[in-house]
Amino acid sequence: MKILYAVQGTGNGHVARARHLIPLLAKHAQVDVWISGTESQLELPSGVQRSWSGISLKYDQHGGLSIARTLFENRWLRFVRDVLRAPIHGYDLIINDFEPVSAWAVWLRGGTLLEVSHQAGVRHPKAPRPKRRNLLGEWILKNYAPSQHAIGFHVQAVASEVHPPLIRSEIRTLTSLPRPQLLVYLPAYSVDALAEVCSDCPVPVRAFVPQLAVPVERGAFRAEPVDSARFLNAFAESDSVLCSAGFELPTEALFHGKRIAVIPIKGQYEQECNAAALRKAGAWHAGSLNKLKLHKWLASPPPQPARWPDYSDDLVRELLSYAPQQLAASN
């Protein structure tokens, strides 16, 4: 069996899930890996056959999505060309984690694509939404990477076809010995914006900043470039996590019972949806960086660990069941 696994590289969450699933799939099939986007700092476990520029979201360094940068810094003509030229044939199964090049190539030229993403969970009608729904945001969630079949993940048990968070093995087996320390990952904020709020925190602060070249220290605040090993170490020894309202990092913090606060990236509707769900799961939802509210939150009790089960092997069997020969055998 030959599988194409296409993953979105804008941010680290999709790549982290791929790092967990690809080696498990490789036990059953040959797996080719494609990635698009330019923002992830994590490396995939096996060689990447194709790397596309894709469509990456760009931020304004003040906590928001920059529409201008997103429009002008993405290479739209190249994206269209890549979609038209992407070699999608010859695979028994195409798995897509919110990756637009392969998704649109399959949609335009025919074929079957299986989406495996937390966006599929967010799209479910029973998934929590912010008080103000955004029709454009809903359209983007549905059409950014169109698919014929979808397996979703969600922090809430919204439906039987939506799975709980898939906690990767390096987080599940991590020995967490937390002490009073705040781990910060807010890629839409500049170092100066973070330091202004965090430099006089009552606990040490370790922030990881994607665009940073060398470490910066100001009072209790230390910012450093993103490095997966150092980040994992900081995660293990921190009792509190402040991050954007993605999916993987907040659920990993909840899994280990860490105090978790999320700040949705302004203008990114998916993160508003995530924040609405995470708030119900025990996270603090902040609209923006605020020193007084941050200090008050740091004094609050941490949540109980959310020990979601490890269903990785069952999920792999479910993914493989979508291969045409497996579908034919079951009919």
CATH of the domain at 133: 3.40.50
Judgement on whether residues 259 and 173 belong to the same structural domain of the protein: yes
Residue 278 lies in a domain: yes
Residue 53 and residue 23 in contact, taking contact as beta carbons nearer than 8 Å? no
Residue 302 and residue 257 in contact, taking contact as beta carbons nearer than 8 Å? yes
Give the predicted TM-score (pTM) of the model.
0.90
pLDDT at 66: 84
Judgement on whether residues 84 and 177 belong to the same structural domain of the protein: no
Judgement on whether residues 116 and 175 belong to the same structural domain of the protein: no
Judgement on whether residues 193 and 210 belong to the same structural domain of the protein: yes
Judgement on whether residues 152 and 182 belong to the same structural domain of the protein: no
> Distance between CA atoms of 281 and 147, rounded to whole angstroms?
28
Residue 181 lies in a domain: yes
The tens digit of pLDDT for each residue in 89-99 reads 999 999 999 99
Q: What domain range is 69 assigned to?
A: 2-166+310-330
Judgement on whether residues 107 and 216 belong to the same structural domain of the protein: no
Judgement on whether residues 160 and 179 belong to the same structural domain of the protein: no
pLDDT at 327: 44
Judgement on whether residues 127 and 272 belong to the same structural domain of the protein: no
CATH of the domain at 221: 3.40.50.2000
The tens digit of pLDDT for each residue in 181-238 reads 999 999 889 999 999 999 999 999 999 998 899 999 999 999 999 998 999 999 999 9
Long-range contacts of 170-174 (CB under 8 A, 24+ apart): 170/232, 171/235, 171/252, 171/255, 171/256, 172/255, 172/310, 174/232, 174/235, 174/236, 174/256
pLDDT at 30: 94
Count of domains for the chain:
2
Q: Helix or strand or coil: residue 273?
A: helix
Judgement on whether residues 230 and 325 belong to the same structural domain of the protein: no
> Distance between CA atoms of 73 and 65, rounded to whole angstroms?
13
Judgement on whether residues 25 and 155 belong to the same structural domain of the protein: yes
Matching residue, tokens 């429009």: 71
Residue 303 lies in a domain: no
pLDDT at 59: 78
pLDDT at 325: 61
Can you spell out the DSSP letters for 60-88?
Answer: -SBSBB-HHHHHHHS-HHHHHHHHHH---
> Distance between CA atoms of 158 and 126, rounded to whole angstroms?
6
pLDDT at 294: 92
Judgement on whether residues 201 and 63 belong to the same structural domain of the protein: no
Q: What is the pLDDT along the chain (331 residues), one digit of tens a residue?
A: 999 999 998 778 888 899 999 999 999 999 999 999 866 666 776 678 888 888 887 878 777 788 888 888 889 999 999 999 999 999 999 999 999 999 999 999 988 899 999 999 999 999 999 888 888 889 999 999 999 999 999 998 788 789 999 999 999 999 989 999 999 999 889 999 999 999 999 999 999 998 899 999 999 999 999 998 999 999 999 999 999 999 999 999 999 999 999 999 888 899 999 999 999 998 998 888 889 899 999 999 998 999 999 999 999 999 999 987 654 444 4
Residue 305 lies in a domain: no
Judgement on whether residues 99 and 192 belong to the same structural domain of the protein: no
